[in-house]
Structure 1
Amino acid sequence: MWHNQVVQKINSKESADSDRLLLDRQLCFPLYAASRAVTARYGPLLSELGLTYPQYLVMLVLWEQSPVSVGELGERLRLDSGTLSPLLKRLQAAGLVDRRRDVEDERRVLVALTPAGVSLRERARHVPAAIAAALGLDEDSYVQLQAQLSELLCRLAPANESQGAPIS
Protein backbone atom coordinates (compact mmCIF):
# COMPACT_ATOMS: atom_id res chain seq x y z
CA MET A 1 0.00 0.00 0.00
CA TRP A 2 2.76 2.46 0.93
CA HIS A 3 4.52 1.75 -2.40
CA ASN A 4 1.36 2.62 -4.36
CA GLN A 5 1.02 5.94 -2.52
CA VAL A 6 4.63 6.84 -3.30
CA VAL A 7 4.17 5.97 -6.97
CA GLN A 8 0.98 8.05 -7.12
CA LYS A 9 2.71 11.01 -5.51
CA ILE A 10 5.67 10.77 -7.88
CA ASN A 11 3.33 10.61 -10.85
CA SER A 12 1.08 13.43 -9.70
CA LYS A 13 1.19 16.75 -11.50
CA GLU A 14 1.70 18.57 -8.21
CA SER A 15 4.89 16.64 -7.56
CA ALA A 16 6.11 17.11 -11.13
CA ASP A 17 5.47 20.86 -11.03
CA SER A 18 7.47 21.28 -7.85
CA ASP A 19 10.40 19.03 -8.75
CA ARG A 20 13.18 21.03 -10.36
CA LEU A 21 15.21 17.91 -11.16
CA LEU A 22 12.96 16.70 -13.95
CA LEU A 23 14.48 16.72 -17.42
CA ASP A 24 11.59 18.80 -18.76
CA ARG A 25 12.25 21.49 -16.14
CA GLN A 26 15.89 22.03 -17.11
CA LEU A 27 17.32 24.68 -19.40
CA CYS A 28 20.36 22.62 -20.28
CA PHE A 29 18.64 19.80 -22.13
CA PRO A 30 16.47 21.77 -24.56
CA LEU A 31 19.43 24.06 -25.30
CA TYR A 32 21.67 21.05 -25.93
CA ALA A 33 19.11 19.17 -28.02
CA ALA A 34 18.12 22.28 -30.00
CA SER A 35 21.77 23.12 -30.69
CA ARG A 36 22.40 19.64 -32.05
CA ALA A 37 19.21 19.68 -34.14
CA VAL A 38 19.90 23.13 -35.60
CA THR A 39 23.51 22.23 -36.38
CA ALA A 40 22.29 19.07 -38.13
CA ARG A 41 19.99 21.20 -40.33
CA TYR A 42 23.07 23.02 -41.63
CA GLY A 43 24.74 19.78 -42.74
CA PRO A 44 23.08 19.25 -46.15
CA LEU A 45 23.26 22.96 -47.02
CA LEU A 46 26.93 23.18 -46.16
CA SER A 47 27.92 19.94 -47.85
CA GLU A 48 26.80 21.55 -51.13
CA LEU A 49 29.43 24.21 -50.41
CA GLY A 50 32.09 21.71 -49.39
CA LEU A 51 32.08 22.97 -45.80
CA THR A 52 31.51 21.50 -42.38
CA TYR A 53 29.59 23.49 -39.78
CA PRO A 54 32.75 24.66 -37.91
CA GLN A 55 34.37 25.62 -41.23
CA TYR A 56 31.24 27.62 -42.10
CA LEU A 57 31.59 29.55 -38.85
CA VAL A 58 35.21 30.41 -39.72
CA MET A 59 34.12 31.55 -43.17
CA LEU A 60 31.37 33.74 -41.70
CA VAL A 61 33.96 35.63 -39.64
CA LEU A 62 36.28 35.97 -42.63
CA TRP A 63 33.47 37.19 -44.88
CA GLU A 64 32.98 40.00 -42.34
CA GLN A 65 36.68 40.80 -41.97
CA SER A 66 39.70 39.50 -43.82
CA PRO A 67 42.49 39.22 -42.89
CA VAL A 68 42.04 38.46 -39.22
CA SER A 69 44.52 37.03 -36.72
CA VAL A 70 44.15 33.45 -35.55
CA GLY A 71 43.77 34.80 -32.00
CA GLU A 72 40.93 37.13 -32.96
CA LEU A 73 39.27 34.35 -34.92
CA GLY A 74 39.44 32.08 -31.88
CA GLU A 75 37.94 34.79 -29.66
CA ARG A 76 35.06 35.45 -32.06
CA LEU A 77 34.25 31.75 -32.40
CA ARG A 78 35.08 30.87 -28.78
CA LEU A 79 37.45 28.17 -29.99
CA ASP A 80 40.91 27.34 -28.70
CA SER A 81 43.89 27.08 -31.04
CA GLY A 82 43.91 23.28 -30.80
CA THR A 83 40.46 23.21 -32.39
CA LEU A 84 40.95 26.14 -34.74
CA SER A 85 44.29 25.13 -36.29
CA PRO A 86 43.01 21.92 -37.95
CA LEU A 87 39.97 23.82 -39.28
CA LEU A 88 42.21 26.44 -40.84
CA LYS A 89 44.53 23.79 -42.24
CA ARG A 90 41.60 22.09 -44.01
CA LEU A 91 40.24 25.40 -45.32
CA GLN A 92 43.70 26.26 -46.62
CA ALA A 93 44.02 22.84 -48.29
CA ALA A 94 40.64 23.50 -49.95
CA GLY A 95 42.01 26.77 -51.33
CA LEU A 96 39.57 28.97 -49.41
CA VAL A 97 41.96 30.71 -47.00
CA ASP A 98 45.62 31.58 -46.73
CA ARG A 99 47.65 31.86 -43.52
CA ARG A 100 50.67 34.15 -43.19
CA ARG A 101 52.77 35.67 -40.46
CA ASP A 102 51.93 39.30 -39.73
CA VAL A 103 54.77 41.44 -41.15
CA GLU A 104 54.36 43.91 -38.26
CA ASP A 105 54.35 41.22 -35.55
CA GLU A 106 55.71 37.84 -36.59
CA ARG A 107 54.18 36.20 -33.53
CA ARG A 108 50.75 36.72 -35.06
CA VAL A 109 49.36 34.59 -37.87
CA LEU A 110 46.84 36.25 -40.16
CA VAL A 111 44.12 34.35 -41.99
CA ALA A 112 42.81 35.82 -45.23
CA LEU A 113 40.30 34.72 -47.82
CA THR A 114 41.54 33.60 -51.19
CA PRO A 115 39.57 34.56 -54.31
CA ALA A 116 37.82 31.17 -54.06
CA GLY A 117 36.90 31.94 -50.44
CA VAL A 118 35.50 35.31 -51.45
CA SER A 119 33.40 33.81 -54.25
CA LEU A 120 32.04 31.07 -51.97
CA ARG A 121 30.17 33.78 -50.06
CA GLU A 122 27.74 34.27 -52.92
CA ARG A 123 26.99 30.54 -53.05
CA ALA A 124 26.37 30.56 -49.27
CA ARG A 125 24.01 33.53 -49.32
CA HIS A 126 20.91 31.29 -49.19
CA VAL A 127 21.94 29.42 -46.03
CA PRO A 128 20.43 31.73 -43.34
CA ALA A 129 17.03 31.89 -45.07
CA ALA A 130 17.03 28.13 -45.63
CA ILE A 131 17.77 27.54 -41.94
CA ALA A 132 15.00 29.93 -40.87
CA ALA A 133 12.58 28.08 -43.15
CA ALA A 134 13.74 24.68 -41.85
CA LEU A 135 13.06 25.90 -38.31
CA GLY A 136 9.66 27.33 -39.24
CA LEU A 137 10.70 30.86 -38.27
CA ASP A 138 9.52 34.01 -39.97
CA GLU A 139 11.99 36.90 -40.17
CA ASP A 140 10.78 38.58 -36.95
CA SER A 141 10.94 35.33 -34.97
CA TYR A 142 14.40 34.58 -36.38
CA VAL A 143 15.71 38.01 -35.37
CA GLN A 144 14.09 37.75 -31.92
CA LEU A 145 15.51 34.28 -31.24
CA GLN A 146 18.96 35.33 -32.44
CA ALA A 147 18.84 38.38 -30.15
CA GLN A 148 17.78 36.30 -27.13
CA LEU A 149 20.54 33.77 -27.71
CA SER A 150 23.13 36.52 -28.20
CA GLU A 151 22.00 38.15 -24.96
CA LEU A 152 22.34 34.83 -23.16
CA LEU A 153 25.86 34.40 -24.53
CA CYS A 154 26.78 37.89 -23.35
CA ARG A 155 25.51 37.11 -19.86
CA LEU A 156 27.49 33.87 -19.79
CA ALA A 157 30.73 35.26 -21.25
CA PRO A 158 31.92 37.17 -18.15
CA ALA A 159 31.43 34.10 -15.94
CA ASN A 160 33.41 31.92 -18.33
CA GLU A 161 36.15 34.52 -18.80
CA SER A 162 36.58 34.96 -15.05
CA GLN A 163 36.99 31.21 -14.70
CA GLY A 164 39.52 31.19 -17.52
CA ALA A 165 37.46 28.75 -19.57
CA PRO A 166 36.59 29.33 -23.21
CA ILE A 167 32.98 28.98 -24.23
CA SER A 168 32.67 26.06 -26.59
Structure 2
Amino acid sequence: MPELQRLRRDHAAALLAFERENRAYFAQTIPDRGDDYFAGFDARHAELLAAQEAGLDHFHLIVDSDGEVLGRVNLVAVTTDGTAELGYRIAERATRRGLATSAVRQICVLAATAYGLTTLRAETTLDNAGSRAVLTRAGFVPTGEEVVLSGQPGLAYVRDLSDVREAAARETAAP
Protein backbone atom coordinates (compact mmCIF):
# COMPACT_ATOMS: atom_id res chain seq x y z
CA MET A 1 0.00 0.00 0.00
CA PRO A 2 1.42 3.43 -0.91
CA GLU A 3 2.62 5.58 1.95
CA LEU A 4 2.93 9.35 2.33
CA GLN A 5 6.47 10.16 3.46
CA ARG A 6 8.12 13.46 4.33
CA LEU A 7 10.85 14.27 1.80
CA ARG A 8 14.30 13.05 2.84
CA ARG A 9 17.78 13.21 1.38
CA ASP A 10 17.68 9.49 0.50
CA HIS A 11 14.61 10.02 -1.68
CA ALA A 12 16.65 11.90 -4.30
CA ALA A 13 17.26 9.07 -6.79
CA ALA A 14 13.68 7.78 -6.71
CA LEU A 15 12.29 11.31 -6.98
CA LEU A 16 14.49 12.12 -9.96
CA ALA A 17 13.37 8.89 -11.66
CA PHE A 18 9.72 9.84 -11.01
CA GLU A 19 10.19 13.30 -12.52
CA ARG A 20 12.02 11.95 -15.58
CA GLU A 21 9.55 9.14 -16.24
CA ASN A 22 6.55 11.47 -16.01
CA ARG A 23 7.99 14.61 -17.60
CA ALA A 24 5.98 14.42 -20.82
CA TYR A 25 2.82 13.42 -18.96
CA PHE A 26 3.07 16.34 -16.52
CA ALA A 27 3.83 18.78 -19.35
CA GLN A 28 0.37 18.07 -20.78
CA THR A 29 -1.26 19.99 -17.92
CA ILE A 30 1.43 22.06 -16.19
CA PRO A 31 4.54 23.88 -17.37
CA ASP A 32 7.55 21.68 -18.03
CA ARG A 33 10.28 22.06 -15.42
CA GLY A 34 12.89 22.48 -18.15
CA ASP A 35 16.25 20.83 -18.68
CA ASP A 36 17.92 22.96 -15.98
CA TYR A 37 15.70 21.33 -13.34
CA PHE A 38 17.11 17.91 -14.20
CA ALA A 39 20.70 19.10 -14.66
CA GLY A 40 20.68 20.79 -11.26
CA PHE A 41 18.50 18.26 -9.48
CA ASP A 42 20.89 17.46 -6.61
CA ALA A 43 21.34 21.11 -5.69
CA ARG A 44 17.59 21.72 -5.98
CA HIS A 45 16.86 18.72 -3.76
CA ALA A 46 19.23 20.10 -1.11
CA GLU A 47 17.48 23.50 -1.35
CA LEU A 48 14.08 21.88 -0.82
CA LEU A 49 15.32 20.05 2.24
CA ALA A 50 16.78 23.27 3.66
CA ALA A 51 13.48 25.11 3.10
CA GLN A 52 11.63 22.25 4.75
CA GLU A 53 14.01 22.26 7.72
CA ALA A 54 13.38 26.01 8.09
CA GLY A 55 9.61 25.41 8.12
CA LEU A 56 9.06 27.40 4.93
CA ASP A 57 7.70 24.42 3.00
CA HIS A 58 6.66 20.81 3.65
CA PHE A 59 7.39 18.28 0.92
CA HIS A 60 5.99 14.75 0.76
CA LEU A 61 6.24 11.77 -1.55
CA ILE A 62 3.79 8.97 -2.13
CA VAL A 63 5.98 5.88 -2.09
CA ASP A 64 5.05 2.28 -2.88
CA SER A 65 6.35 -0.77 -1.00
CA ASP A 66 9.32 -1.03 -3.41
CA GLY A 67 10.40 2.58 -2.71
CA GLU A 68 9.17 3.84 -6.06
CA VAL A 69 7.72 7.34 -6.04
CA LEU A 70 4.11 7.44 -7.25
CA GLY A 71 3.46 11.09 -6.50
CA ARG A 72 4.29 14.28 -4.69
CA VAL A 73 2.18 16.37 -2.33
CA ASN A 74 3.68 19.67 -1.25
CA LEU A 75 2.77 22.53 1.04
CA VAL A 76 4.72 25.61 0.01
CA ALA A 77 4.88 29.27 0.91
CA VAL A 78 3.93 28.60 4.53
CA THR A 79 3.00 31.89 6.19
CA THR A 80 3.16 32.96 9.81
CA ASP A 81 -0.66 33.19 9.86
CA GLY A 82 -0.94 29.44 9.14
CA THR A 83 -1.64 29.38 5.41
CA ALA A 84 0.14 27.35 2.72
CA GLU A 85 -0.25 26.53 -0.95
CA LEU A 86 -1.00 22.91 -1.86
CA GLY A 87 0.48 21.31 -4.94
CA TYR A 88 0.49 17.68 -6.05
CA ARG A 89 1.29 15.45 -9.00
CA ILE A 90 0.71 11.76 -9.51
CA ALA A 91 2.61 9.41 -11.84
CA GLU A 92 0.70 8.61 -15.01
CA ARG A 93 0.64 4.91 -14.19
CA ALA A 94 -0.87 5.61 -10.75
CA THR A 95 -3.76 7.85 -11.79
CA ARG A 96 -7.45 7.04 -11.45
CA ARG A 97 -6.92 4.91 -8.31
CA GLY A 98 -7.89 7.48 -5.67
CA LEU A 99 -4.25 8.03 -4.75
CA ALA A 100 -4.37 11.81 -5.16
CA THR A 101 -7.56 12.18 -3.12
CA SER A 102 -6.18 9.98 -0.34
CA ALA A 103 -2.86 11.84 -0.25
CA VAL A 104 -4.50 15.28 -0.26
CA ARG A 105 -6.77 14.22 2.60
CA GLN A 106 -3.74 12.95 4.51
CA ILE A 107 -1.84 16.17 3.90
CA CYS A 108 -4.79 18.15 5.25
CA VAL A 109 -4.52 16.20 8.51
CA LEU A 110 -0.76 16.70 8.68
CA ALA A 111 -1.13 20.38 7.85
CA ALA A 112 -3.58 20.92 10.71
CA THR A 113 -2.01 18.66 13.33
CA ALA A 114 1.74 18.39 12.69
CA TYR A 115 2.38 21.74 11.01
CA GLY A 116 -0.17 23.92 12.82
CA LEU A 117 -1.67 25.30 9.62
CA THR A 118 -5.19 26.70 9.50
CA THR A 119 -5.85 27.16 5.79
CA LEU A 120 -4.69 25.60 2.54
CA ARG A 121 -4.99 27.17 -0.89
CA ALA A 122 -4.76 25.50 -4.28
CA GLU A 123 -5.19 26.40 -7.94
CA THR A 124 -5.96 24.33 -10.99
CA THR A 125 -6.93 24.93 -14.59
CA LEU A 126 -10.55 24.73 -15.66
CA ASP A 127 -9.77 21.91 -18.08
CA ASN A 128 -8.24 19.72 -15.35
CA ALA A 129 -11.41 17.98 -14.19
CA GLY A 130 -9.44 15.35 -12.28
CA SER A 131 -7.64 17.90 -10.15
CA ARG A 132 -10.84 19.85 -9.50
CA ALA A 133 -12.52 16.61 -8.38
CA VAL A 134 -9.63 15.74 -6.03
CA LEU A 135 -9.78 19.16 -4.41
CA THR A 136 -13.56 18.99 -3.99
CA ARG A 137 -13.45 15.47 -2.49
CA ALA A 138 -10.78 16.67 -0.04
CA GLY A 139 -12.98 19.54 1.19
CA PHE A 140 -11.59 22.42 -0.86
CA VAL A 141 -14.10 24.97 -2.16
CA PRO A 142 -13.71 27.38 -5.06
CA THR A 143 -13.04 30.93 -3.92
CA GLY A 144 -14.57 32.45 -7.04
CA GLU A 145 -11.19 33.94 -7.90
CA GLU A 146 -10.22 33.26 -11.47
CA VAL A 147 -6.53 32.63 -12.09
CA VAL A 148 -4.32 32.05 -15.10
CA LEU A 149 -1.95 29.08 -14.96
CA SER A 150 0.49 28.68 -17.83
CA GLY A 151 -1.77 30.80 -19.99
CA GLN A 152 -4.82 28.68 -19.16
CA PRO A 153 -7.85 29.89 -17.20
CA GLY A 154 -8.21 28.35 -13.78
CA LEU A 155 -9.81 28.60 -10.38
CA ALA A 156 -8.49 29.17 -6.89
CA TYR A 157 -9.63 26.89 -4.06
CA VAL A 158 -9.39 27.12 -0.29
CA ARG A 159 -9.63 24.59 2.55
CA ASP A 160 -10.30 25.70 6.12
CA LEU A 161 -8.67 23.13 8.38
CA SER A 162 -10.64 23.86 11.57
CA ASP A 163 -12.80 20.74 11.14
CA VAL A 164 -9.66 18.61 10.74
CA ARG A 165 -8.17 20.02 13.96
CA GLU A 166 -11.45 19.45 15.81
CA ALA A 167 -11.69 15.84 14.60
CA ALA A 168 -8.10 15.18 15.62
CA ALA A 169 -8.75 16.68 19.06
CA ARG A 170 -11.84 14.46 19.49
CA GLU A 171 -9.80 11.40 18.49
CA THR A 172 -7.08 12.27 20.97
CA ALA A 173 -9.60 12.83 23.77
CA ALA A 174 -11.51 9.60 23.11
CA PRO A 175 -10.81 6.80 25.65
TM bracket, shorter-chain basis: under 0.3
Higher strand share: 2
Q: Which has the larger radius of gyration?
A: 1
Higher helix share: 1
Normalised by the size of structure 1, how large is the TM-score?
Answer: 0.28
